[in-house]
A and B are shown apart, each in its own frame.
Chain A
């Protein structure tokens, strides 16, 4: 897998610190570092940091001590790490620092399809754009060499289709760089005050100028035979790979000049001159924003900015083909329209989040429900998630909704924010502290399933396991909530729906009392994708009796994937394969038609 290739590249290049926060499509990079370090005996410290900003700063200081370092994240994680990232461009590094920011054109699993290469350009940091897992691995090493030579962080930007592609590649032994930590104090640089920042900016411009002039990352040309005089195609990342496949299929590989841009920023200076002097028209295929196209400039260049290439979305082979046909003046093939449809994702059968969301929506039918990012965003299917913005935003938005409604004369709706345990650690703590201090009134339900489920079950700080599976110093969510000054804190298992709904009501009473404020309920139940957790809980054999009226309440408002309507009579049936026997739906049926008998526990 591309992410495994990147992890291998980090170990082989001699990094001694690798940090990350999980996020699709980057999540498998750090576990691969751990696995390959263990396999080869390479001395790499690997850390799931509490968020991307922290991850960046931990890796940065290792680099400032002269040692090679890697930090990986998904593209929106770079937003969180942008503060240290931009400053690190000015101050530079000592040991190589590679920043892996995995983009998600499409997007498939992200809140934006932003282009990290633009972020690199904004920060004045060189960025490499791999076409395949194989190239991604090689680029990690090349990025670290470049980083050390110019004392500048270097970004490697894979996309989903590189991260989640698999291919065979050759593995080498890890470089063991004997570099004891050696931090050289230099206040003008490491503490640069505005007086010195201007000089550091000039120095940064010089570095970028030299890198743009260096031939080693200049675009690679697959030369044409003159069949298309004055025209060329320029591509980067996986868009290059898909274009190469189409050119091969159309018999045009080697007929038209075809460039691969390995380093989209800074774009090689001679290349810019060459394109603008030797070609009458150039087509640029890149994901997701027009980074190369804008640097080339000029009316000869066509791409996303000019509108020749669709300005949003992934460049799949099906999107690229008509663009190529138009540019090369080929007869178009009939386009095959992908049909709409497919099953939307839903919370797993037995997921305790479903019980918590059901309880929230049933208890407060007129409520406002800001939420956050994780599996539990799927609570929107249950009508219990009204907003999903960015990590931690649900809590601050709850405070903002309170201000909006408290200012009016009308009734104050109950505001219930939900946030997952990992998201709470990531960005929820300052938001909660702010809400308590500023005297906002709302309920916060922390959905604690004892893992980072969405991205593949990375441990949270509360679990107390490090990235390498060793015991860490566990930090409890309840302690943090208390430390934020919260006056109402209860923990409960949402599986017991009636009790959980009563608890929500008492939380609402607290919120609405004059001395009240933020009430926090920690909904505790482990993720059932953890097989041990599933084994440890009681299981029930479920059945639906004659009393089912086919009212669809359980189907529409509870949406357990194990429940489906019988096609003949509309009554509900339970799929014994998907049902995990949690028994929660017993409390959901208004007719009492769902029965449970204990089979285990």
Chain B
């Protein structure tokens, strides 16, 4: 993965999946990415999982930036995958295109980019659920997203309730720092 900092060089058409277990904060990640994309003037459409699957079941959200009409990503077409749990690789990796960027919240290395969100959260005195923003920061730092770290940090600051704002930004920055 080539690290990009130049906003102009980022793709304006990108399909991302966010895969996790209910309660891990996949919806929050999805909304932050969508808000950041919309704030940057991109056409964004997303799809979310609601209902019973949110009770700890496998969930997936999709974010499409660019001139798309429908909210779903076909198999083998996603550019980037954010996996909040390594177990989900077996279930949702087929959405990724060959060579697509895969970021996983896990301490175990594999054929993907990984960051141990739970360990980092503990190091920074954050609750385990902060692993979602750590993973987002990590992916943004590695240049895997259509939107840069600065824009994402702005949206996190703007959209997070005040009492969680500082902790959320700390989690995002921890992930960003881990990306090097």
The stretch of A55-63, A241-249, A431-439 in contact with B is: A241-249
**Residues on the B chain within 8 Å of A164, using CB:** 47-50
Contact B52 A336 (CB under 8 A): no
Q: Decide if A346 is an interface residue (CB 8 Å cutoff).
A: yes
Contact B34 A339 (CB under 8 A): no
Q: Is the interface of A mostly helix, strand, loop or mixed?
A: loop
Q: Decide if B18 is an interface residue (CB 8 Å cutoff).
A: no
Contact B50 A343 (CB under 8 A): no
Q: Decide if A577 is an interface residue (CB 8 Å cutoff).
A: yes
Q: Decide if A25 is an interface residue (CB 8 Å cutoff).
A: yes
**Residues on the A chain within 8 Å of B49, using CB:** 108, 164
Q: Decide if A561 is an interface residue (CB 8 Å cutoff).
A: yes
Q: Decide if B118 is an interface residue (CB 8 Å cutoff).
A: yes
Q: Given A343-B21, A345-B57, A348-B56, check contact A244 B70 (CB 8 Å).
A: yes
Contact B47 A577 (CB under 8 A): no
With beta carbons under 8 angstroms apart, the residue of A165, A168, A241, A345 that contacts B22 is A345
B residues 29-83 touching A (CB-CB < 8 Å): 30-31, 34, 38, 43-58, 67-76
Q: Given A245-B68, A317-B70, check contact A561 B94 (CB 8 Å).
A: no
The stretch of B84-92, B100-108, B137-145, B169-177 in contact with A is: B84-92
**Residues on the A chain within 8 Å of B44, using CB:** 166-168
**Residues on the A chain within 8 Å of B45, using CB:** 132, 165-167
Q: Decide if B128 is an interface residue (CB 8 Å cutoff).
A: yes
With beta carbons under 8 angstroms apart, the residue of A166, A378, A455 that contacts B48 is A166
Contact A345 B56 (CB under 8 A): yes
Q: Decide if A341 is an interface residue (CB 8 Å cutoff).
A: yes
In this complex, what residue of B is CB-closest to A238? B70
**Residues on the A chain within 8 Å of B46, using CB:** 165-167
Contact B72 A316 (CB under 8 A): yes
With beta carbons under 8 angstroms apart, the residue of A24, A165, A343, A345 that contacts B71 is A165
**Residues on the B chain within 8 Å of A561, using CB:** 56
Contact B75 A343 (CB under 8 A): no
Contact A109 B58 (CB under 8 A): no
Q: Interface readout for A343-365 with B: 1 if CB under 8 Å, 0 if not?
A: 11111100000000000000000
User: Once the chains are docked, how many angstroms separate the CA of A546 from the CA of B78?
Assistant: 47
CB distance from A532 to the nearest CB of B (A): 15
Contact B47 A336 (CB under 8 A): no
With beta carbons under 8 angstroms apart, the residue of A27, A242, A346, A348 that contacts B70 is A242
Q: Interface readout for A208-250 with B: 1 if CB under 8 Å, 0 if not?
A: 0000000000000000000000000000001011101100100
Contact A345 B52 (CB under 8 A): yes
Interface centre among B30, B70, B75, B94 (most CB of A within 10 A): B70
Q: Given A166-B46, A242-B72, check contact A348 B55 (CB 8 Å).
A: yes
A residues 94-117 touching B (CB-CB < 8 Å): 108-109
In this complex, what residue of A is CB-closest to B46? A166
Contact A241 B71 (CB under 8 A): yes
Q: Decide if A69 is an interface residue (CB 8 Å cutoff).
A: no
User: Once the chains are docked, how many angstroms separate the CA of A244 from the CA of B70?
Assistant: 8
Contact A339 B91 (CB under 8 A): yes
Interface centre among A1, A108, A166, A241 (most CB of B within 10 A): A166
Contact B55 A378 (CB under 8 A): yes
Given A167-B46, A343-B87, 18 extra CB contacts under 8 A: A108-B53, A132-B45, A165-B45, A166-B31, A166-B34, A167-B45, A241-B70, A241-B71, A244-B70, A317-B72, A317-B73, A341-B91, A343-B56, A346-B56, A348-B23, A348-B56, A375-B55, A454-B51
15 interchain pairs (CB within 8 A)? A24-B52, A25-B50, A108-B49, A109-B51, A109-B53, A164-B49, A168-B38, A245-B70, A316-B72, A338-B75, A339-B91, A341-B90, A342-B57, A342-B91, A455-B51
